[in-house]
């Protein structure tokens, strides 16, 4: 089911993992080449939500000897409480995802990122269980999501993209368990965003839309997600599961 929502791109640096797809590492761009900033994970912000707790898989692919390409997701967690549309957050006490403590940031958002000791991050094989201690009118609660994290998308298209022609952003792997899919085309100057139903694995951008992009190094993103909501002490909490595929491209 596809439901239209506002989309909130969180300001904290929750960087995504990139697909490693049997290709040599690309050289750094020339000093004068315009380059888009590395994008954060796009977080859906449903209208009327008082909080969003997001379990995130970055879609990372590795090539193993004698086996071939393997999907190796890396698990992140993000939590925000307060006025999501305005980006004005408040503390809700300690927050944990599958027993992994999220770290409160200076803007009162919460993040769990992988570390050297836990390079794969949070394991979602048994779902996502959230624990919130409570604070600032948010009650303490535990909540286990009923939805699976959507299957990992993968972009296998061109790494050089023309800005004067229609472009179709597609996942070469079928997307499953998603309510909606976000498609982002990110140039140094302009980002194009479209949201499609969860059973859609590709999205087209017209030549006119592509013509608004700036030339240089950028990114494409495919982000399937699902969600459920619950009310705790009068607060509407959304629990979101998403997979993020981000690939570097060049716009010319």
Task: Read off the pLDDT of residues 114-173 as tens digits, 9 standing for 90 and up.
Answer: 999 999 999 998 999 999 999 999 999 999 998 899 988 999 999 999 999 999 999 999
Q: What is the mean pLDDT of residues 238-246?
A: 95
Give the pLDDT of residue 2.
42
Sequence-ordered list of residues with C-beta below 8 angstroms from that of 35, at least 6 positions apart, any chain: 29, 188, 216, 217, 218
**Could you tell me the residue ranges of all domains in the chain?**
6-245
Distance, CA of 182 to CA of 197 (rounded, Å): 9
pLDDT at 25 over 70: no
Residue 209 backbone zone (phi > 0: left; psi -120 to 50: alpha; other: beta): alpha
Quick one: pLDDT band at residue 28, thresholds 50, 70, 90?
low
pLDDT band at 22 (very low <50, low <70, confident <90, very high): very low
Q: Is the pLDDT of residue 12 over 60?
A: no
**Predicted local confidence at residue 219, as pLDDT:** 96
Residues 9-32 have a mean pLDDT of 46
Contact 97, 127 (CB under 8 A): no
What's the pLDDT score for residue 131?
98
pLDDT reading at 7 higher than 90: no
pLDDT higher than threshold 50 for residue 11: no
- Per the prediction, the chain carries an average pLDDT of 87
pTM score of the predicted model? 0.85
Query: What pLDDT band is residue 18 in, cutting at 50, 70 and 90?
Result: very low
Instruction: Identify the pLDDT of residue 19.
Output: 39
Report, as an integer, the average pLDDT of 206-219: 97
pLDDT at 21 over 50: no
For residues 16-33, average pLDDT: 48
State the pLDDT confidence band at 63, using cuts at 50, 70 and 90: confident
């Amino acid at each position: 089911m596809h439901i239209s929502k506002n989309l909130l791109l969180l300001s904290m640096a929750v960087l995504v993992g990139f697909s490693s797809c049997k290709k040599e590492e690309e050289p750094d761009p020339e000093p004068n080449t315009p380059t888009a900033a590395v994008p954060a994970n796009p977080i859906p912000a449903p209208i009327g939500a008082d909080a969003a707790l997001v379990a995130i898989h970055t879609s990372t692919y590795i090539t193993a000897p004698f086996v071939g390409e393997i999907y190796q997701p890396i698990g992140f967690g993000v939590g925000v409480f307060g006025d999501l549309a305005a980006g004005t957050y408040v503390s809700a006490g300690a927050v944990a995802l599958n027993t992994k403590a999220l770290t409160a940031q200076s803007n009162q958002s919460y993040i769990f990122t992988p570390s050297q000791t836990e390079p794969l991050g949070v394991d979602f094989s048994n779902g996502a269980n959230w624990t919130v201690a409570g604070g600032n009118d948010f009650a303490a609660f535990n909540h286990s999501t009923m939805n699976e994290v959507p299957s990992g998308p993968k972009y296998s298209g061109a790494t050089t993209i023309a800005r004067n022609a229609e472009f179709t952003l597609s996942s070469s792997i079928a997307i499953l368990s998603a309510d909606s899919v976000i498609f982002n085309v990110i140039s140094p100057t302009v980002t194009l965003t479209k949201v499609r139903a969860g059973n859609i694995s590709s999205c087209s951008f017209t030549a006119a839309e592509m013509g608004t992009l700036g030339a240089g190094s950028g990114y494409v993103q495919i982000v399937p997600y699902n969600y459920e909501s619950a009310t705790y002490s009068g607060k509407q909490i959304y629990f979101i599961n998403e997979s993020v595929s981000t690939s570097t491209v060049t716009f010319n």
